[in-house]
Amino acid sequence: MASVPATLIRLTSQPHDGAPSETDVGGVLEKGEGGKAQPWSTLATTRIEEQLQCRLSPRQSIELPVELWWKVIDFVADHLSQRVDGRTRMRELARVSRSWYTWCRVRAEERLDVINRDKKEVYRLIRRLDDNPERYNAIKRVQFVNKKISNFGSFVIHLVGKLHKVETLDLKSRWRPSSPAFGSLGSCTHGPSCM
């Protein structure tokens, strides 16, 4: 007998225990394991049992509301280490699932992390930002970590007036208050009393 695909078989009565009987499908045979012909009902029963076992599997994922995941993502985005590129980390986190993707990308675009870049890399970053001016409106946090404060000066000069929505500006650098970049702050030592 020829093998008939399961999608072409029309049942004439209700299935028994989730699987049609041989009389319902006219005793159609299909090749099973090892190439042996088996009644279609045996294959259908086996497939249904496998599906039920998958549904009852203890490894079944738990669905949480998307809003709860957004809170988790917000927490992670706000508490990333100061020495890592948060934008890159958020993009990696966006790969976890489809429900995480959108919010992780939004949070990634809110950050601008300039970490240990030389002048050429800073200018390259500025050029990329100028190529996508809509990105300026998305940036809410700028983190600048560098050994040379002069690179920050170049960064500021080119971006003055463009980053309207920045809420947080983190500067981390090894600098001496007596350097010419700070002018009148030269007599001040470090600490909150200098501000």
Residue-wise pLDDT tens digits, 56-113: 555 666 777 888 888 988 888 888 776 677 788 888 888 888 888 888 888 888 888 8
Residue 58 φ then ψ, to 5° = -70, -15
Closest CA to 110 of 83, 80, 131: 80
Name the residue ranges covered by the structural domains of the chain: 6-55, 66-194
Q: How confident is the model at residue 131, as a pLDDT?
A: 93
Tell me what the mean pLDDT of segment 168-184 comes to.
Answer: 68
- CA–CA gap between residue 189 and residue 7 (Å, rounded): 81
Q: Are strands 37-39 and 29-31 parallel, antiparallel or unpaired?
A: antiparallel
- CA–CA gap between residue 173 and residue 116 (Å, rounded): 10
pTM confidence score: 0.53
Q: Where are the alpha helices (DSSP H) in the chain?
A: 40-55, 66-78, 86-93, 98-109, 119-131, 134-138, 149-159
For the ranges 3-7, 10-14, 38-42, 122-126, the one whose mean pLDDT is highest:
122-126
Residue-wise pLDDT tens digits, 16-64: 444 444 444 444 445 555 656 555 455 556 666 666 665 555 566 677 7
